Amino acid sequence: MIKKIKNILRPIKYSIIFIFAFFVSKFNQIFNKNVTCSKDIKRCSENILSPNYRYELLGKDTPICCATNLYTILKDLIQFFEKHNIEYFISFGTLLGAKRHGGMIPWDTDIDVVIPEYEQKKVFDLLQQEYIKQYNISIDEYQGMVGDIIRVNYSKVNHLHADIFIYKHIDNKIHLGLQEVLSYDTIFPLNEISFYDLQVKTPKNIDYFLQHFFGKDYMDYAYKQWSFKKYKFKLENYNPAQIRYEK
């Protein structure tokens, strides 16, 4: 009985949240239209004073300020990995964005990077030493994932972030993500791709990797949030999320 009641109330709850987000966003577009996110201000989707409050529920693209901050995190991480000679590659949605859009998926909300398991402690310790004043860094356990995840938040207040996943190399197989298993030759030797003005490391066989995680039609069809569901649609515009480059 309780389960039935919860199932009845769930869509009502979601509808209320959606309607609230819609009207708050509209109000802020008039009275708080210049509010953007920074290290001292919550990310737009969490800031009730932002014109982009809960934008992901309303089917909007990621605001320029949020996309720029995510780009900055990735740029810093790449410099960090190269400085310390740490093997990495972009993955999941970040790789999809690089391949399909040449940058971030216009509505993406984080950055995905993968490193080898044996480098995780070193990476975490060095990030704590070198970026503790710049970013908020933690290591968290997520059920079902291959190992813990290092999360690099833009700040303690602003939770825009990069997730640094690990992979395990077992019997010529690469284990990563939600216990996904790929052949070693699919990932290595690593490849490169453009991500805006950056050159970033990727799995060797980008197409096979993306088909494995997103399906064979990943270049032509995408999934985007609307309310609490994701809808599949055919892409017409392949431009990446807009960002502001540093002068």
Q: What pLDDT tens digit does each residue of the chain (247 aa) get?
A: 666 666 666 778 888 888 898 999 999 999 988 999 999 999 999 999 999 999 998 999 999 999 999 999 999 999 999 999 999 999 999 999 999 999 999 999 999 999 999 999 999 999 999 998 899 999 988 888 888 999 999 999 999 999 999 999 999 999 998 889 999 999 999 999 999 999 999 999 999 999 999 999 999 999 988 767 888 999 999 999 999 987 5
- Tell me which residue range forms the domain holding 39: 1-61
Question: Is residue 133 assigned to a domain?
Answer: yes
| CA-based nearest residue to 50, from 67, 68, 65 | 65
Residue 85 φ/ψ region, left for φ over 0, alpha for ψ in the -120 to 50 degree band, beta for the rest: left
Within this chain, do residues 186 and 136 fall inside the same structural domain, yes or no?
Answer: yes
Within this chain, do residues 26 and 74 fall inside the same structural domain, yes or no?
Answer: no
Within this chain, do residues 30 and 55 fall inside the same structural domain, yes or no?
Answer: yes
What is the secondary structure of 69-80 as a DSSP string?
HHHHHHHHHHHH
Within this chain, do residues 50 and 91 fall inside the same structural domain, yes or no?
Answer: no
Domain end call among 61, 76, 91: 61
- Rounded to whole angstroms, what are the CA distances from 35 to 30, 65, 182, 200, 209? 11, 10, 44, 32, 38
Within this chain, do residues 181 and 66 fall inside the same structural domain, yes or no?
Answer: yes
What does the pLDDT look like over 113-123, one tens digit per residue?
Answer: 999 999 999 99
Question: Is residue 234 assigned to a domain?
Answer: no
pLDDT of residue 10: 76
Within this chain, do residues 55 and 136 fall inside the same structural domain, yes or no?
Answer: no
Residue 114 φ/ψ region, left for φ over 0, alpha for ψ in the -120 to 50 degree band, beta for the rest: beta
Question: Is residue 154 assigned to a domain?
Answer: yes
Question: Is residue 245 assigned to a domain?
Answer: no
Question: Is residue 68 assigned to a domain?
Answer: yes
Number of domains in the chain: 2
Within this chain, do residues 103 and 193 fall inside the same structural domain, yes or no?
Answer: yes
Q: Whole-model pTM above 0.85?
A: yes
Question: Is residue 241 assigned to a domain?
Answer: no
Question: Is residue 240 assigned to a domain?
Answer: no
Within this chain, do residues 7 and 73 fall inside the same structural domain, yes or no?
Answer: no
Question: Is residue 102 assigned to a domain?
Answer: yes
What does the pLDDT look like over 27-62, one tens digit per residue?
Answer: 999 998 899 999 999 999 999 999 999 999 899 999
CATH number (domain holding residue 93): 3.30.460.40
Within this chain, do residues 144 and 166 fall inside the same structural domain, yes or no?
Answer: yes
Within this chain, do residues 55 and 145 fall inside the same structural domain, yes or no?
Answer: no
pLDDT of residue 188: 97
CA 245 to chain centroid, in Å, comes to 19
Within this chain, do residues 127 and 190 fall inside the same structural domain, yes or no?
Answer: yes
Within this chain, do residues 105 and 134 fall inside the same structural domain, yes or no?
Answer: yes
